[in-house]
Amino acid sequence: MRTLFSIIFSAVAFAAFAQSPAPVTQKIGYADWDRIFSAMPEFKQIDAELKAHRAQLETQMDSKQKDLEAKYKAFQGLAATTPDAIRADKQREIEQLNESLQKFTQDAQTSLQTKQNALMEPVFTKVGKAIEETAKENGFSFIINPQLLQGGDILLYSDDKFDISPLVLKKLGVTEKPATATKP
């Protein structure tokens, strides 16, 4: 009886296993952006350009700061007999210089970020394409970024066959509009 039960159980288990679809293997890898970028020839050039740009901005900022400090010292050194109109004029000048310095500081940060983005964009594109090609050539389903810096992407490559978005939209009863080509 026990043997008959074992045979029946084995047959049912085998039949169930045989009817289930074959599991899809997924190969997951990661790409260390810092390692890749620092090994690229573009790294030194981009780094040098950013340092030069930063130094130029800092020189201008230091000059503006020194000018503000000199005007402030001169203002503090005004004689007590200096007319109020001249004092008010000098104080307005100092306030304007201070506002100008603050605006320059903000503009300098924006300029540096813009410069960095402009220099890095071609490198991001080049590395992204290389990651995608490498993933496809080596049968990877997903490539992740192990180091998230400054809000970077966690998923660098994914095989579209694992995208469940259409299934989720179907479950929600939403019909997706066809994608339209955008002009760059």
pLDDT tens readout for residues 54-94: 999 999 999 999 999 999 898 888 888 888 888 889 899 99
pLDDT for the residue numbered 65? 94
Contact 127, 33 (CB under 8 A): yes
- Neighbouring residues of 166: CB distance < 8 A, sequence distance ≥ 6: 176
pLDDT for the residue numbered 114? 95
Average pLDDT for consecutive 10-residue bins of the chain (184 residues)? 44 46 72 80 91 96 93 86 88 93 95 94 87 85 71 69 65 67 46
* Residue extents of the structural domains in the chain: 24-172
Alpha-carbon span 53 to 59, nearest angstrom: 10
0.75 cut: is pTM over it? no
